Structure 1
Amino acid sequence: MTLRLRIGFLPLVDAALLVAAADTGIAEAHGLSLELLRDVSWSNLRDRLHVRLLDAAHMLAPAAIASTLGIGGVTAPMVAPILLNLNGNALTVSARRFEEMARVAQGDLADPAVSAQALATLVSARKASGLPPLAFAAVFGFSCHTYLLRDWMALAGVRLGEDARLEIVPPVRTVEALASGEVDGFCAGAPWNTLAVEAGVGAILHCGVDLMPDLPEKVLAWRADDVERRGEAVARLNAALIEASRWVSDEANWPSLAGLLAAPDRLAAPAALIEAVLRGDIVQGGGRPLRQVPSYIRFDAAAIRPDPAHADRLLAAMARAGQVLVTLDLTERARAVFRPLVAEATQMKF
């Protein structure tokens, strides 16, 4: 019997496993009919999963933890029996701010410590001149994007939310917000950083791997009670995504994958640009050459296997951001989000 599942996603390259499973026949071969529903914000996806308008969702790993712990909203425990990727983020500033940072930088801006100090110089100059603080966008409060921004700025003692304003801007609006001057920079997943560079409005300062390599970024989230009562659906989808991981990780399939992701109901972005991201060929902007970034985004078997240790790393970042006070109970509940329980129960191999 074919099982029909409604899965929400945002238009990002890290939705690749879901798109590949749905659009290549992989899911069908596992007895699934996947309806992928494109959404506009992470809060929408979270809330639609909470009230069961979705069976599962493409979700920020920290958001799944926050929902489970009841931080920033209602308590709705979630389980991620599989990850969708590691890495994939970048930190982009407006073309104007990049030029200003380049003028005051004491060294190579490719060094996060140098770029953070250049930012600190701009922040101090604006304070002395009575200008409003710079604004940086993350795509959600409970996201690796927020923690990457905070930890980068902290290298030079700049406090996000105090010395620089934090704005929450959905991925689809980041380029527009940068172009309009609403924000001076943003941290988001692919392809939005590259789209900002291609539009001539931004320059990529750092890739996520420069700051926090192998960071658990997106997960396939289910409500915890659904994982317990809908084991067959979870197992089938896990199997389909593991097979999709093998297909997506094969370089020979990247042109086809880029074409699938480029579709209007998926990312609606140029296929050539998406393929470049898959290859780690990053157009930096700011007059700098193309940069090749190994493991810019990972979809391989090791990348998608859930590990309770992911929760430890993310909780530490959430604590640095002042979002949680880590306790033993909190840690145990957060670690329960990342459970390879389905794979172990069905003898699946990541």
Structure 2
Amino acid sequence: MSTEAFRIGFLPLVDAALPILAHELGFAEEQGLALDLVRDVTWATVRDRLLYGHTDAAHMVAPLAIATSLGRDRPATPLAVPFVLGLNGNAITFSTALGQACGLGDTLGDPRAVGAALREVTRTRRLRFGVVHRHSSHNYMLRYWLAGVGIRPDHDVEIVVTSPTFAADALAAGEVDGICVGEPWNSIAVDRGVGRIALATAQIWRRGVEKVLAMRAGVAAERHDATLRLVRALHAAAAHFVEPGTAEASAAILARACYLDAPVDAVLRAITDRIRLVAGGVPVHYPDFMFQYREAANFPWRSQAAWLYAQMARWDGRGHDPADAAVAVGTFRPDLYRAALAGSGAPLPGASSKLEGALGQAIGAGSTQGRLVLGPDGFFDGRAFDPDDIPGYLASLP
């Protein structure tokens, strides 16, 4: 098998772990691939490099892949998502002043209780929160929570865009009152004494889709075999990432200047599900704060793409369009995931879509290969999302 090069764009976030480890630990090489990892600072730049052919694939926020296929903010370019790089892993961090005003304690708060305290603050002043991109899970998860606790996004709270790497600086400068970003940037804000973690996004939607591997659909078709090999390399990296005893070595690799350029301890806390809420505090353990590999976590469920599209329809002012929904759902490519891992022993879901948010406990699920167990995936408000009834779902929301 000849070696084939793949350039992959990424942002310095903990959930860029799988392409980094696939490169550093030889999983890509085992598949006959040579990865060239290209670091950027904003998601817009990651997207543009991908669209203009400067990269072959990208670590990307899932909604941005969908928005790009739909032509939101720019001409439509069909993208393919054959692999999910991780679930959850973000947090909502308040400025220290806002944390005090909301009476945050020394544990992660209940989403409804934190929301009620925040709602009282919004009665006296309009707050500003920073998210990493307009089309990001951060934006949609934050909006979902705010609306669910009676706070009106764009009215009671202004939502602006800030790069993850500058989010702590924005808090320190008083430009925003809160941020919703990925790790390690919440922890860095806390360790600098400028932020206080209020919630993990896993408390808003357990097992919510976060980062994905995105490719131009044409590249995925033209380089079909190499794409499948890349999925296999990333899957092997994910299996290694969750093995006991590997976290410290993985954190040391990710923290390097060429990747996250971040303190090793902050990275290690994220990948071991420990969150330091306040400067100098003892980290608290929140199970599955970041989620890779287990329960077919890397499978691109089309129902998760549908939920993200529903949030776009809710907040972008365009409403639901069945043709757009079909494009959005079609961006996720479980067919490529299955083709890559057929015969490997990895659990392969028998369906490509499911009812999201309906599981209160772990259950066995249908699979065409391997034994598949799916864990709790609830939304904080107890709602479930039926991907076959997006209009009904949207009509039920506050």
In the superposition, the TM-score normalised over structure 2's length comes to 0.82
- Residue 237 of structure 1: which of 212, 230, 238 is its match? 230
Report if aligned partners of 2:193, 2:279 keep a CA contact under 8 Å in 1: no
Kindly provide the amino acid, as one letter, of the partner of residue 157 in structure 1: G
Structure 2 Cα separation of the partners of residues 293 and 246 of structure 1: 21
Structure 1 Cα separation of the partners of residues 115 and 143 of structure 2: 10
Report if aligned partners of 1:78, 1:221 keep a CA contact under 8 Å in 2: yes
Kindly provide the amino acid, as one letter, of the partner of residue 112 in structure 1: P
Kindly provide the amino acid, as one letter, of the partner of residue 143 in structure 2: R
Identity of aligned residues (%): 37
- Matches for 1:335-346 after TM superposition, within 5 Å: 335-346=329-340
Kindly provide the amino acid, as one letter, of the partner of residue 214 in structure 1: R
Kindly provide the amino acid, as one letter, of the partner of residue 319 in structure 2: L
The count of residues paired between Structure 1 and Structure 2 equals 341
Q: Which moved more, 1:167-176 or 1:339-348?
A: 339-348
- Residue 333 of structure 1: which of 296, 302, 327 is its match? 327
Structure 2 Cα separation of the partners of residues 204 and 152 of structure 1: 15
Query: What is the CA deviation profile of residues 98-128 of structure 1, one whole-angstrom value per residue up to 9, with x for unaligned ones?
Result: 111118x9xx9812122112222111112xx
Structure 1 Cα separation of the partners of residues 337 and 299 of structure 2: 9
Structure 2 Cα separation of the partners of residues 224 and 47 of structure 1: 15
Gaps in structure 2 of 5+ consecutive residues: 348-398
Report if aligned partners of 2:108, 2:277 keep a CA contact under 8 Å in 1: no
- Residue 299 of structure 1: which of 292, 298, 312 is its match? 292
Shift of 1:160: 1.8
Report if aligned partners of 2:102, 2:118 keep a CA contact under 8 Å in 1: yes
Give the match's secondary structure for 1:115: helix
Aligned residue in 1 for 2:146: 153
Give the match's secondary structure for 2:152: coil
Aligned residue in 2 for 1:63: 64
- Matches for 1:30-109 after TM superposition, within 5 Å: 30-102=31-103
- Cα distance change of structure 1 residues 25 and 109 upon mapping to structure 2, 3 Å threshold: closer
Shift of 1:319: 2.5
Aligned residue in 2 for 1:136: 129
Aligned residue in 2 for 1:124: 123
Aligned residue in 2 for 1:283: 276
Shift of 1:268: 0.7
Q: Which moved more, 1:317-326 or 1:162-171?
A: 317-326
- Residue 217 of structure 1: which of 207, 210, 225 is its match? 210
Query: What is the CA deviation profile of residues 52-111 of structure 1, one whole-angstrom value per residue up to 9, with x for unaligned ones?
Result: 1110000010000000111122201100111100110100000011111118x9xx9812
Report if aligned partners of 2:191, 2:279 keep a CA contact under 8 Å in 1: no
Shift of 1:275: 1.1
Report if aligned partners of 2:192, 2:279 keep a CA contact under 8 Å in 1: no
- Cα distance change of structure 1 residues 248 and 323 upon mapping to structure 2, 3 Å threshold: farther
- Matches for 1:16-27 after TM superposition, within 5 Å: 16-27=17-28
Query: What is the CA deviation profile of residues 253-300 of structure 1, one whole-angstrom value per residue up to 9, with x for unaligned ones?
Result: 111100110100000111122111111111111786532111101111
Report if aligned partners of 1:254, 1:275 keep a CA contact under 8 Å in 2: yes
Structure 1 Cα separation of the partners of residues 148 and 15 of structure 2: 28
Which structure is higher in helix share? 1
Pairing 1:165–2:164 present: no
Gaps in structure 1 of 5+ consecutive residues: 127-132
Structure 1 Cα separation of the partners of residues 139 and 122 of structure 2: 19
Aligned residue in 1 for 2:355: none
In the superposition, the TM-score normalised over structure 1's length comes to 0.93
Query: What is the CA deviation profile of residues 183-226 of structure 1, one whole-angstrom value per residue up to 9, with x for unaligned ones?
Result: 11000011111111111110000001111111110000000111
- Cα distance change of structure 1 residues 293 and 332 upon mapping to structure 2, 3 Å threshold: same
Indicate the structure whose relative CO is greater, using CA pairs within 8 Å and at least 6 residues apart. Answer: 1
Structure 1 Cα separation of the partners of residues 47 and 16 of structure 2: 16
Structure 1 Cα separation of the partners of residues 46 and 221 of structure 2: 21
- Matches for 1:173-184 after TM superposition, within 5 Å: 173-184=166-177
